[in-house]
Structure 1
Amino acid sequence: MKKHEDRLEMDQYLFHQGTHYNAYEFLGAHVLDDNRMRFITWAPNAHHVQLMCNYNHFSGDGFDFERLNDQGLWVLYTDKVHVGDVYKYKIHHADGYNVKSDPYAQYSEVRPNNASIVYKSDFKFTDDDWMARRRNSNIYESPINIYEIHLGSWKRHFTDDQNPNGTYFYTYQQFIDTLIPYLQEMNYTHVEFLPLGEHPFDASWGYQMTGYFSATSRYGTPDELKQLINALHRAGIGVIMDVVLAHFNKDDHGLRRFDGTPTFEHPDEYIANKRAWGTLTFDFGRNEVQSFLVSSCLFWIKEFHIDGLRVDAVHSMIDLNFENYEEHEKIYNEHGDDRNIAGIEIIKKINTAVFKEDTSILMMAEDSSDIPLITHPIDNGGLGFNFKWDLGWMHDRLKYISKSFDERMHYHDKMTFTMMYKYNENYVLPLSHDEVVHYKKSILDKQQGDQWQQFAGVRVLYGNQMSEPGKQLLFMGQEIGMYHEWKDHEEVDWHLLEFPLHQQLKLYIKDLNALYRDNPEFYQLDYEQEGFQWMVVNDRDNGVFAYTRSSRDGFKVCVLNFKPDVHYDYSIPVPLGGEYKEIFNSDHAKYGGSGVINGTHQTIDQAMNNQDQHIKITVSPLAFIVFEFKN
């Protein structure tokens, strides 16, 4: 008992200091060695706390918490509640009482129900080989090609009676048999799940959460999610998950006014309220909230073996005026600028804790700001992420391809500007879910021209993405040429694979992914300037670009044509004299192309664009072409 009390004292101290990074082992529902159940919750302004459960018919009667300390922790010991039982907290305060789910619950009822469930994991991971390889790898010099997926709409059952719980969702276990073979077939290195924490509203896609430690029950139990992750690792596929640290939803059973007053949210309603999203900003400066958020990130990494976290909406965490556009709306800190100092500090705290746990974790910032040093070490003034989504790259590429072929010459700089800042951060090049919703059109439907030209345009765009410096990400469905935007209430339009152009695009993505994975020129020096060099950069009239991608041991020459014209005897400068062989061409007939391809070309000893040699090739229409130096 003395050891238990000493542990409790240390837990309390660390939690209130904002440095309890395993707070989920302390708060919430836990089975003790004597088989009693212990519940601890934090409600600093509560007058009284009760446990609502089946045993008291959810009245709270007879299950009264005691104050654990004067800083808002409450504790209940009972032998009446067991693993699998459903419960909520009844938080009494000055204005009445709230009925709340457990913020630290590790399992929850399937929506629309929202009670917490006492859970104890029995799963043992068998992914030691994967974890060892990951920890011994250099993530910056490794291939990272991510398939972004929303589990609820990748595949669905067509009737409600195919799952035991009467839903149309596939289960975590069913994804083992469907998703993993697909990722292997398509040569992806990683899968990224939209948030898998519990969330009440399907259409939020998981970005408005209530369960920061609770894997959503839509698809099964937490242990079944662990089985899926374990199987992915054993298949050689890394797992990234989106997390939402910026804000949370306003649902009554969630974190909002947990003890009758702002508890998890910022006390200033003007700062707390995220108007566009209808959510509330965390009080990042409050120590107990810091323990909550850091612990949540480490929970997924330690307990679920997640390989990386993509942190959503970083801009909204670090900018007090993220949504304030008019001068009268502006908020400033004590230094007179609009940095959210508490938001910046919690990000640093999270990244420090994560990398102290494991330096091989991928911490990716989805950040739309122009604030520098996002992926720089904290000691050097950075935020401490190791990767950032390059939203500028994404916007520029989609802007360029939205223009007619005749107009593209006027937007040529959209294709070249990103190289001006490429090495400021460690970038991921995303074509994500955000770009194929809300009337933005699918990637295919953004393309110009007739149907053949649209598919060819998709192929050259993806070739450009895969061959530029940076890690890669593509959202589900875009690899088969969906015409529709993403429909979160339906599955991917797999029926399109009955048609040749869609089959051919899928084959192209499969082969393009293999080209990337198998050739270190496309990933080894992503973040070193010697990994990329322009060969043709100013041909705005023809929309032709060429560059080299280099590894430590060799290079590839990439040629891209963003117009539907064929160019014969087109001169491409090259670094070395000798023989160059075409090894990949998106215009190949097997991909639905016109079949204008090259063989082997000998260099011409004549200087061009600061190179001593060049080759003359046939530039295929709307194509991505790769040449390999043979000698």
Structure 2
Amino acid sequence: MKATLPTSFDRFLFHKGRLFQSYHTFGAHICVENELSGVRFTLWAPHARQVSVIGDFNDWNSSGFELKKMNEEGIWTNFFPELAELDCYKYEILTSNGSILHKSDPYAFYSEIRPNTASIIYDLKGYDWKDNHWLAKRQFNKKKQKPMFIYEVHLGTWKKKPDGSFYTYKELADELVNYVKEHGFTHIELLPIYEHPFDRSWGYQGTGYYSVTSRYGTPHDFMAFVDKCHQEGIGVILDWVPGHFCKDAHGLFLFDGEPLYEYENGYVRENDVWGTANFDLGKSEVQSFLISNAVFWMDYFHIDGFRVDAVANMLFWDMHGDGNIYPNEYAVEFLQNLNQTIKHFDESVLVIAEDSTDWSNVTKPINEGGLGFTHKWNMGWMNDVLEYMQKESDERDKWHHLMTFSMIYAYSEKFILPFSHDEVVHGKRSLLNKMPGSYEEKFAQLRLLLGFMTAHPGEKLLFMGSEFGQFDEWKDLDDLDWKLLNYGMHSAMHEYSKAVLELYRNEPAFWECDDIQDGFEWIEPNNAHQKILLFIRKGKVDDDSLIVICNFSSQQYDNYKIGVPIDGTYCELFSSDIDIYGGSGMRNKRYISSHSTPYHRQPYQLEICIPPYAFVVFKRIRRERHNAYAQ
């Protein structure tokens, strides 16, 4: 490609926080200038006295490889012929106090494998994408309500080779993508895959925001992974961390010897919780850097969405060092600019807030006073449900409100229901091992938990391993306990999670009206004594409506009456208690006719049996209809 000096307009937009494709201007770009092939380097380092490029091409000696300062704005640039793709490099920065720093390129497209920290010259162009059908379909469906059940994955510990080494992006394009497709998930969400120095940070403490981690291969290899996902009908969501960054010496921290990407004041700069530095979200150049980064992943890697990490940490903190928590006006402006820009480039891209606060209108449009996210994680629902499920069966009646409270606010935002990695690590135990009771009861309650999540309004997210009942909590240095699939209950749990995802995808009532109150109706929310919830999920067509029964007790109920809104014949469409899922095999008869006797404030009633710790779904059908789930 032909590269030129950064234009005055580029520089103007960058300093105004409006250069949203700044990766075309900054970084190391292979190009031809004056008929010479080489690389142009451009860097923002306003406090530096001198900037040079060092690398394996000059034996890490900066002499003769100095960048030129364009003006007092602090942008440095130069072109060096004969440098080529895959050459390693860093910036040598002479600070205002005479110190010398060796820094990785903030805009590097590729990096050395840890523990090495140099940037690598890389040409992102040239990959032959084959996902045109997916991208066109994504645009067509952007205004439509579609099923979304996300599989959250940490690539380094999902599965490892026998020698303990990582699967590559190309290998994961077969192993992981085929697994996710077979299981029925609609999206993969990846824990951060930009470059980071420490495996056990899981990517949340990054140093190379434009550099897909080299642990698993090259940028083109990651493109191949995303491409395969799209060809198989699976969306890709990235965990993305624009709030704080790693303080390792080669990274962004005190980049040119003084605070640059971080706040100047120490009490807001230092993030003591994670040992990181907070991005200065009020600095226009930092907004150009971060918002461009989201556009970059969309542009070069066809990413379908972002889960924005730690939104609560951005929105509220001690801004004045007085011990009081205040709203961060800079974060609000940044998040609105971010969401507005992503929408400008592609309205079909998801932007999901991991926000545990009560900040209102997170998913409302910006022109209505909202932050403009497409979705928000429902952390309140997750905390309430897991607190309830960890109670012994005979104690749950006192905590029944935890299972119903979410419906008071379920439509205040566009929610995703998350059972994420955060809930199965650091001594919190796996989902299976959170369940009380005997070995069999733990599995029954995990099946019930996943069923309840499936039926509750909101899109869904499940962390890897939960689908087959990982018994140990997430071991972030080892892969999942795949050997458990050789044991009957885990194998049955694996089949159950596939079946419940198939039920979710095939029944429009579970997702078609997911964001409107007309899609849900309580039949009986207050039966705390028997620990039973009864409700209706509705689609746009009456025949699609489903009757959902969740029994959170260890008791079996025979001849149990439930109210139903429509007269007719009903079948047990789904039950978590059948034997192939590890249950007792208790079933209702194939067809059950309603009685014209009002019950539960409904005009008709059914008489059914309910297994212990069971998730059961009934549907009104024509007698001749084949019941695929009841076989």
Query: Where on the TM-score scale, by shorter chain, does this alignment land: which range?
Result: over 0.9
Correspondence for 1:559: 549
How far the C-alpha of 1:609 sits from its partner, in A, is 2.3
Query: Does structure 1 residue 158 correspond to structure 2 residue 155?
Result: no
SS in 2 for 1:479: helix
Query: Does structure 1 residue 597 correspond to structure 2 residue 594?
Result: no
Correspondence for 1:112: 115
How far the C-alpha of 1:328 sits from its partner, in A, is 4.3
How far the C-alpha of 1:415 sits from its partner, in A, is 0.3
SS in 1 for 2:449: helix
Instruction: Determine which of 85, 89, 92 is the counterpart of 1:90.
Output: 92
Correspondence for 2:612: 621
Aligned residue type for 1:499: Y
Give the distance between the partners of 1:557 and 1:457, measured in 2 at CA: 20
How far the C-alpha of 1:139 sits from its partner, in A, is 5.7
Correspondence for 2:516: 528
Q: Deviations over 1:571-612 (max 9, x none)?
A: 111110111111110000000000111122111111122211
Contact 2:3 2:29 in 1 (8 A): no
Contact 2:445 2:613 in 1 (8 A): yes
Matches within 5 A, 1:277-288: 277-288=274-285
Note closer, same or farther for the CA distance 1:383–1:13 as it changes in structure 2 (3 Å cut): same
Give the distance between the partners of 1:153 and 1:3, measured in 2 at CA: 40
Correspondence for 2:369: 381
Give the distance between the partners of 2:300 and 2:17, measured in 1 at CA: 21
Give the distance between the partners of 1:346 and 1:548, measured in 2 at CA: 40
Give the distance between the partners of 1:206 and 1:382, measured in 2 at CA: 29
Correspondence for 1:180: 177
Correspondence for 1:315: 312
Aligned residue type for 1:459: R
Give the distance between the partners of 2:476 and 2:109, measured in 1 at CA: 26
Query: Does structure 1 residue 295 correspond to structure 2 residue 306?
Result: no
Aligned residue type for 2:154: H
Correspondence for 2:466: 478
Aligned-pair identity (%) = 42
How far the C-alpha of 1:180 sits from its partner, in A, is 1.3
Contact 2:268 2:318 in 1 (8 A): no
Give the distance between the partners of 1:341 and 1:118, measured in 2 at CA: 37
Contact 1:68 1:74 in 2 (8 A): yes
Query: Does structure 1 residue 250 correspond to structure 2 residue 247?
Result: yes
Correspondence for 2:22: 23
How far the C-alpha of 1:4 sits from its partner, in A, is 3.9
Aligned residue type for 1:532: F
Q: Deviations over 1:289-312 (max 9, x none)?
A: 010000001111111000010000
Contact 2:151 2:461 in 1 (8 A): yes
Correspondence for 2:599: 608
Instruction: Determine which of 222, 230, 233 is the counterpart of 1:233.
Output: 230
Give the count of matched residue pairs: 614
Q: Deviations over 1:340-361 (max 9, x none)?
A: 0011111000000000111111
Query: Does structure 1 residue 411 correspond to structure 2 residue 424?
Result: no
Matches within 5 A, 1:551-590: 551-553=539-541, 554-590=544-580
Correspondence for 1:44: 46
SS in 1 for 2:547: strand
Give the distance between the partners of 2:144 and 2:95, measured in 1 at CA: 51
Contact 2:3 2:32 in 1 (8 A): no
Give the distance between the partners of 1:82 and 1:243, measured in 2 at CA: 30
Give the distance between the partners of 2:450 and 2:139, measured in 1 at CA: 30
Give the distance between the partners of 2:611 and 2:416, measured in 1 at CA: 28
Correspondence for 1:163: none
Instruction: Determine which of 73, 76, 83 is the counterpart of 1:74.
Output: 76
Give the distance between the partners of 1:269 and 1:3, measured in 2 at CA: 39
Give the distance between the partners of 1:597 and 1:370, measured in 2 at CA: 42
Superposition TM-score, scaled by structure 2 size: 0.96
How far the C-alpha of 1:482 sits from its partner, in A, is 1.1
SS in 2 for 1:371: coil
Superposition TM-score, scaled by structure 1 size: 0.96
Give the distance between the partners of 2:152 and 2:439, measured in 1 at CA: 26
SS in 1 for 2:466: coil
Query: Does structure 1 residue 171 correspond to structure 2 residue 140?
Result: no
Give the distance between the partners of 1:532 and 1:318, measured in 2 at CA: 32
Matches within 5 A, 1:84-483: 84-95=86-97, 96-121=99-124, 122-138=126-142, 141-159=145-163, 168-321=165-318, 328-330=322-324, 338-483=326-471
Query: Does structure 1 residue 8 correspond to structure 2 residue 7?
Result: yes
SS in 2 for 1:496: helix
Correspondence for 1:64: 66
SS in 2 for 1:356: helix
Correspondence for 2:626: none
How far the C-alpha of 1:38 sits from its partner, in A, is 0.3
Contact 1:140 1:526 in 2 (8 A): no
Give the distance between the partners of 1:151 and 1:281, measured in 2 at CA: 26
Give the distance between the partners of 1:370 and 1:140, measured in 2 at CA: 27
Aligned residue type for 1:67: K
Q: Deviations over 1:74-112 (max 9, x none)?
A: 001100321110000011112212110000000000000
Correspondence for 2:628: none
SS in 2 for 1:84: coil
Contact 1:193 1:241 in 2 (8 A): yes
Give the distance between the partners of 1:222 and 1:2, measured in 2 at CA: 22
Contact 2:206 2:245 in 1 (8 A): yes
Give the distance between the partners of 1:412 and 1:13, measured in 2 at CA: 58
How far the C-alpha of 1:252 sits from its partner, in A, is 0.2
SS in 1 for 2:100: strand
Give the distance between the partners of 2:423 and 2:240, measured in 1 at CA: 19
Correspondence for 1:33: 32
Note closer, same or farther for the CA distance 1:158–1:577 as it changes in structure 2 (3 Å cut): same
Aligned residue type for 2:586: V
How far the C-alpha of 1:3 sits from its partner, in A, is 9.8
Give the distance between the partners of 1:124 and 1:80, measured in 2 at CA: 27
SS in 1 for 2:176: helix
Give the distance between the partners of 1:597 and 1:448, measured in 2 at CA: 24
Give the distance between the partners of 1:29 and 1:68, measured in 2 at CA: 17
Note closer, same or farther for the CA distance 1:214–1:451 as it changes in structure 2 (3 Å cut): same
Contact 2:562 2:600 in 1 (8 A): no
Contact 1:140 1:527 in 2 (8 A): no
Give the distance between the partners of 1:316 and 1:504, measured in 2 at CA: 40
SS in 2 for 1:143: coil
Contact 1:56 1:62 in 2 (8 A): no
Q: Deviations over 1:546-578 (max 9, x none)?
A: 111111012111111011211011111111011
SS in 2 for 1:239: strand
Aligned residue type for 2:615: F
Give the distance between the partners of 2:269 and 2:96, measured in 1 at CA: 22
SS in 2 for 1:393: helix
SS in 1 for 2:413: coil
Instruction: Determine which of 502, 511, 516 is the counterpart of 1:514.
Output: 502
How far the C-alpha of 1:330 sits from its partner, in A, is 2.1
Contact 2:70 2:77 in 1 (8 A): yes
Give the distance between the partners of 2:549 and 2:260, measured in 1 at CA: 56
